[in-house]
Amino acid sequence: MKPFVPKLVYFEPDALDYPLGQTLYDKFKGMDVDIRYTTSHNQVRNLPGESDLQKYRVAKSTLVVGIRKTLKFDTSKPSAEYAIPFATGCMGHCHYCYLQTTMGSKPYIRTYVNVEEILDAADRYMAERAPEYTRFEASCTSDIVGIDHLTHTLKRAIEHFGQSEYGKLRFVTKFHHVDHLLDARHNGKTRFRFSVNADYIIKNFEPGTSPLEQRIEAAGKVARAGYPLGFIVAPIYIHEGWEDGYRHMFERLDAELPAEAKEDLTFEFIQHRFTKPAKRVIEKNYPMTKLELDEEKRRYKWGKYGIGKYIYPKEEEEDLKTHLFGYMKQFFPKAKLEYFT
Ligand code: SF4
């Protein structure tokens, strides 16, 4: 699983006035990547491809280098106060990914070069709430680690929050390309989370992301670099042998993590769910998927704006909880369960 290299890169011309814009331009020029220009990162049109499916594939390997104009951050309750916008979109091809519905016609990846302006805005949010801590989530609209080997934006942010008095950073990833982040001066202010799952789910539904083994090794490195660590198990998905699949995942984590890391671990559990609009998009983008999307086998839960979601029936949900909570307690008795949803 190699680090992501885009096949096509667009620049907003003004992005070249920023040091990161220039660095990225030089980097891609040297790599012989096809470079084009766009007036706005929100309006990249005419991507190559004959069909919608081809265009979608091309978009997922297209990087747009732009300037983040909106410096008003969205809220990101309950795990953080704000979403910090360093990037949008992802090169992964997880069949169930919610970005397919939220990004609609713009599935390409955007990175923003005005990092210092974004961090200044974060400082203003922190100042408003001081002396309370303000937590920023960096992976609401992308898998930021997946492109950070190119931009080092996340590394810059980790060090920024490391020096801050009242700021904390968190993010989650399915990629193992973390080596450049290991020496960042994080001062314990960043919680580094990995999204993990049973092998079956990763193999069948998460193409274009790192295998479980590599994610777990990366988690070990991150723990040894002294970062507070966390795991999101999502989507928890019932499949043949799921009990063993999840047990094996916990066993591997237990074997990899150093004892100190186990003192301060967090777990977030999210069962598989889908909405009707998401089902339509998944079937369009991944027509051969084996992902089970049968409303009849699920329980309907009312949601915001009238769009409800389909989750597991009560009995199966309880079974999932019993197993997952049990493994967590058995292998990591000191871990904190943040939520099951
Ligand atoms: Fe979506 Fe995360 Fe998969 Fe990227 S890695 S496609 S953000 S679920």
CA distances from residue 314 to 18, 66, 224, 301 in whole angstroms, order as listed: 52, 45, 39, 11
- Whether residue 104 has pLDDT greater than 90: no
**Residue 142 CA, closest ligand 1 atom number:** 7
CA-proximal residue: ligand 1, atom 2 (nearest): 143
Q: How far does residue 146's CA lie from ligand 1's centre (Å)?
A: 9
Domain topology for 67-106+113-340: pyruvate-formate lyase- activating enzyme (3.80.30)
Side-chain-side CA neighbours of residue 134 (13 Å):
24
Q: How far does residue 162's CA lie from ligand 1's centre (Å)?
A: 26
Q: Is 260 in contact with 253 (CB distance < 8 Å)? A: no
For position 306, what pLDDT does the model report?
A: 80
- Residue 314 exposed, middle or buried by CB count within 10 Å (0-12, 13-18, 19+): exposed
Q: Is 49 in contact with 58 (CB distance < 8 Å)? A: yes
pLDDT tens digits for 140-179? 999 999 999 999 999 999 999 999 999 999 999 999 999 9
Q: What is the mean pLDDT of residues 51-71?
A: 96
Pocket test for ligand 1, best of 99, 203, 212 (most atoms within 8 A of CB): 99
ipTM score of complex: 1.00
For position 129, what pLDDT does the model report?
A: 97
Domain ranges of the chain: 67-106+113-340
CA-proximal residue: ligand 1, atom 6 (nearest): 92
For position 79, what pLDDT does the model report?
A: 86
Q: Is the pTM of this model over 0.95?
A: yes
**Residue 143 CA, closest ligand 1 atom number:** 7
pLDDT tens digits for 200-222? 999 999 999 999 999 999 999 99
Q: How far does residue 296's CA lie from ligand 1's centre (Å)?
A: 26
Q: How far does residue 256's CA lie from ligand 1's centre (Å)?
A: 24
Residues with CB under 6 A from ligand 1: 90, 92, 94, 97, 99, 143, 174, 209
Band (32; pLDDT cuts 50, 70, 90):
confident
Q: How far does residue 130's CA lie from ligand 1's centre (Å)?
A: 33
Q: How far does residue 142's CA lie from ligand 1's centre (Å)?
A: 7
Neighbours of 38 (CB within 10 A): 17
CA-proximal residue: ligand 1, atom 1 (nearest): 97
CA distances from residue 239 to 12, 254, 294 in whole angstroms, order as listed: 45, 23, 14
DSSP string, 194-224: EEE--HHHHHHH-TTS--HHHHHHHHHHHHH
**Residue 90 CA, closest ligand 1 atom number:** 4
Q: Which residue has the tokens 């939220």?
A: 102
Q: Is 190 in contact with 136 (CB distance < 8 Å)? A: no
